Amino acid sequence: MHSKDQISHDDYKNTADWLLAQTKQRPKVAIICGSGLGMLADALKCQETFHYSDIPGFPQSTVQGHAGRLVFGELKGKPCVCMQGRFHMYEGHTLCKTTFPVRVFKLLGVETLIVTNAAGSLADGYQPGDIMIIKDHINFPGLAGLNPLNGPNDDKFGPRFPAMSGAYDKDLCRLATEIVKQMGVSQFVREGVYAMVGGPNFETVAEARLMHRLGVDAVGMSTAPEVIVATHCGLRVFGLSLITNKVVKSYDDTESVNHEGVLEVSKLRSHTLQSLVTELVGRMDVNNNTHTV
């Protein structure tokens, strides 16, 4: 990564200061919406919306299903900010730009990051429409040296060598599992390992077979960089994947995946996802304890 790709602490602070001057809302929870999942922001009360193009320093989202808006509001009385649309490597963004909002959220006072994505299933028992609680990830671009923390470390955000073994908060995962049981939707909610690939093409059969053998349950083109930066910043992280398609693992399979189909499945499961996230935020203690008693 070249020095021109670096973003200074002042750059993040300038964006955060601009947002703090535009709204009186002070979010404690940030939610990043994956492809077709922007409806999560619809549940926010007392909404204030900013288009990415109006926010100083913010990248622009170019993908169908990503509205490109930052929405402030409340979920179950908890102050939140929601990204309707994220940024991806395959759009041409550097990883510094892809993860730019996460550090801005930290400077806004956010304590917990909820990430969602649309993903293809590799696990044999998964079906389109299933929801996967992410317990861990494999960051394939990171294994090849593409990491959002490359370059000089900003000690104001976190340490040079952050541990990732506990990136996904176990207490939040347990709380989500409890909520799923209470909602009566356990039959299509899983817990598994997410893998990020660079995209924008979907996987070859050989790539799918490799990931399946490695123990990957679902694969997508986002999430890992944001989780890495959030963990570096000291944020708690909770992740959800909506399974929108089965990844082709056989040369005899005549089915293929497309982005339009991904968006269709997202619409079908939107209410359940919205209810799960809303209830999770409602029962979450924003003072770094997992849930209220």
Q: Which member of 48, 74, 91, 207 is catalytic?
A: 91
> Under a CB-based contact definition with an 8 Å cutoff, are residues 52 and 69 in contact?
yes
Q: Which member of 14, 48, 74, 90 is catalytic?
A: 90
> Would 120 be classed as within a structural domain?
yes
pTM for the predicted model, two decimal places: 0.93
> Under a CB-based contact definition with an 8 Å cutoff, are residues 101 and 83 in contact?
yes
Tokens 């940030």 -> residue: 30
Strand 218-220, strand 236-246: pairing: unpaired
Q: What is the largest CA-CA distance in the chain?
A: 57
Strand 189-196, strand 131-139: pairing: parallel
Q: Which member of 117, 139, 222, 241 is catalytic?
A: 222
Query: Helix/strand/coil (H, E, C) string of the chain?
Result: CCHHHCCCHHHHHHHHHHHHHHCCCCCCEEEECCCCCHHHHHHCEEEEEEEHHHCCCCCCCCCCCCCCEEEEEEECCEEEEEEECCCCHHHCCCHHHHCHHHHHHHHHCCCEEEEEEEEEECCCCCCCCCEEEEEEEEEHHHHCCCCCCCCCCCCCCCCCCCCCCCCCCHHHHHHHHHHHHHHCCHHHEEEEEEEECCCCCCCCHHHHHHHHHCCCCEEECCCHHHHHHHHHHCCEEEEEEEEEEECCCCCCCCCCCCHHHHHHHHHHCHHHHHHHHHHHHHCECCCCCCECC
- 74 assigned to active site: no
Q: Which member of 30, 35, 119, 232 is catalytic?
A: 35
Q: Which member of 41, 43, 61, 66 is catalytic?
A: 66
In this structure, what token pair is assigned to residue 81?
């900010």
- 66 assigned to active site: yes
Per-residue model confidence (pLDDT) at position 2:
41
Per-residue model confidence (pLDDT) at position 287:
62
> Would 2 be classed as within a structural domain?
no
> Would 1 be classed as within a structural domain?
no
Per-residue model confidence (pLDDT) at position 16:
98
> Under a CB-based contact definition with an 8 Å cutoff, are residues 116 and 273 in contact?
yes
Per-residue model confidence (pLDDT) at position 125:
93
Q: Which member of 16, 83, 118, 230 is catalytic?
A: 118
Per-residue model confidence (pLDDT) at position 268:
75
Q: Which member of 221, 224, 230, 284 is catalytic?
A: 221
Q: Which member of 178, 259, 270, 291 is catalytic?
A: 259
Q: Which member of 12, 52, 88, 117 is catalytic?
A: 88
Query: Using only C-alpha atoms, what is the Rg of the chain?
Result: 18
Per-residue model confidence (pLDDT) at position 258:
74
Residue type, 280: L
- 1 assigned to active site: no
- 90 assigned to active site: yes
Interior/surface letters 169-181, b for 16+ CB within 10 angstroms, e for the rest: beebbebbeebbe
Residues in contact with 155: Cβ distance below 8 Å, sequence separation at least 6, in sequence order: none
Q: Report the CATH number at residue 29.
A: 3.40.50.1580
Q: Which member of 245, 266, 279, 284 is catalytic?
A: 245
- 226 assigned to active site: no
> Would 291 be classed as within a structural domain?
no
Per-residue model confidence (pLDDT) at position 213:
97
Identify the domain containing residue 44 by its residue range: 8-150+160-282
Per-residue model confidence (pLDDT) at position 66:
59
> Would 278 be classed as within a structural domain?
yes
Look at the chain and report how many structural domains it folds into. Answer: 1
- 150 assigned to active site: no
Per-residue model confidence (pLDDT) at position 260:
77
In order along its 293 residues, the chain shows pLDDT tens digits of 444 568 999 999 999 999 999 999 999 999 999 877 778 888 899 999 999 999 999 998 777 655 789 999 999 999 999 999 899 999 999 999 999 999 999 999 999 999 999 999 999 999 999 999 999 999 999 999 999 999 999 999 999 999 999 999 999 999 999 999 999 999 999 999 999 999 999 999 999 999 999 999 999 999 999 999 999 999 999 999 999 999 999 999 877 777 677 677 777 787 898 999 999 999 998 664 444 32
> Would 112 be classed as within a structural domain?
yes
Residues in contact with 87: Cβ distance below 8 Å, sequence separation at least 6, in sequence order: 59, 61, 93, 97, 98, 100, 101
- 250 assigned to active site: no
> Would 3 be classed as within a structural domain?
no
- 212 assigned to active site: no
> Would 249 be classed as within a structural domain?
yes
